[in-house]
């Protein structure tokens, strides 16, 4: 099991617009390709203007195949320009849970 943690710092004041676009259009496209969404968050305290979304994959090959399919989708390519200019910094991590993690080692159904 692997978790992809994507963190975006948005332009000041852009969170409402970004979340509206993702909720109304983007998340359905992502879910259709990426599969298991663990969570989608925005900051309240600490670093402001931050979005974090976490996706679960059975393997790194599974992640790559799903990301490739997403990037090949014309609907996703048409959606990206709508959010691209709202993002100032993007950071991506791949994490693997420990044996004692409550998340366990398999993707939930």
Q: What pLDDT is attached to residue 105?
A: 61
23 membership: H or E segment, kind and range: none
Contact 86, 14 (CB under 8 A): yes
Smallest CA-to-CA distance from 66 within 27, 91, 30 is with 30
pLDDT recorded at residue 45: 85
Phi, psi of 22 (to 5 degrees): -65, -45
25-82: pLDDT as tens digits: 999 999 999 989 999 999 888 888 999 999 999 999 999 999 999 999 999 999 999 9
CB atoms < 10 A from the CB of 63, how many? 19
How many of the other CB atoms lie within 10 Å of CB of 72? 10
Tens digit of each residue's pLDDT (9 = 90 or more) over 9-30: 999 999 999 999 999 999 999 9
Q: Does domain 2-95 have CATH number 3.50.50.60?
A: no
Q: In what order do the strands lie in the sheet with 87-95?
A: 36-42, 50-57, 2-10, 87-95
List the one residue out of 36, 46, 39, 41 whose CA is nearest residue 18.
41
- Rounded to an integer, what distance in angstroms lies between the CA atom of residue 96 and that of residue 4? 9
Q: What ranges do the domains of the chain cover?
A: 2-95
């Amino acid at each position: 099991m692997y978790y992809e943690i994507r963190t975006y710092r948005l332009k000041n004041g852009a969170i409402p617009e970004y979340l509206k676009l993702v909720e109304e259009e983007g998340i359905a496209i992502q879910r259709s390709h990426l599969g298991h969404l663990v969570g989608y968050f925005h900051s309240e305290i600490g670093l402001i203007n931050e979005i974090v979304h976490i996706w679960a994959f059975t393997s790194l090959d599974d992640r790559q195949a799903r990301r490739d399919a997403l990037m090949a989708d014309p609907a996703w390519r048409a959606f990206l320009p709508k959010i691209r200019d709202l993002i100032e910094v993007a950071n991506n991590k791949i994490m693997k849970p420990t044996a004692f993690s409550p998340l366990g080692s398999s993707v939930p159904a």
